Each structure stands twice: as C-alpha cells, then as structure tokens.
Structure 1
Amino acid sequence: MAEYRCSNCGKIITQDELGMKAKCPYCSNKILIKLRPRVVKLVKAR
C-alpha cells in the first residue's frame, strides 16, 4: 500500500484515505510526496 506525505501539514496519508482524489484530506493541499518503502536491499560485492 502506498503512503504519501503532505508537503504543507506533514501528515502521512495512505492510498485508501485518498481514494481517487489527489488532495490532502486534512488541509486540502494538492502537493503530496510519495514515501519510499522501508525495504533494505542487500547487494553482493564481487
């Protein structure tokens, strides 16, 4: 599930809360930043 952070109020919003809208439900700001998943990638050194 994708998570977004509002650039104005800083609240973290899930994709379920957004629905089909691209607007913060708390402050009505239209600029949302998609957060990266918390996955650690292991790379083998050669």
Structure 2
Amino acid sequence: MAEYKCLNCGKVIPSSELNLKAKCPHCSNKILVKVRPKVVKKVIAR
C-alpha cells in the first residue's frame, strides 16, 4: 500500500483513504507527494 504526504498540512495519508480522489482529506489540498521507503538499495557495478 502506498502512502502520500500532503505538502500543505504535512499529514501522511494511505492510498486506501484517497479512493479515486487526489485530495487531502484533512485540508483539501490537491498536491500530494508519494512517500518513499527509507531503504537504500546496493547496486553492484560491473
């Protein structure tokens, strides 16, 4: 499940709360940013 962060109020919203609307349920802001996991991937270069 993806999570989104509102740029206006800073609340983290799970995608299940959004349904099909790209709007913050707390402040009605339309700009949401997808939260990335804090895992660093190691890539082996050849």
Match of 1:30 in 2: 30
Q: How many residues align?
A: 46
Aligned pairs (5 A) from 1:8-23: 8-23=8-23
- The sequence identity of aligned pairs, in percent, is 70
The TM-score normalised by the length of structure 1 is 0.83
Q: What SS does the aligned partner of 2:5 have?
A: strand
Moved over 2 A (4+): 37-40, 42-46
Q: How far apart, in 1, do the equivalents of 2:21 and 2:45 lie?
A: 44
RMSD of Structure 2 on Structure 1 (CA): 1.4
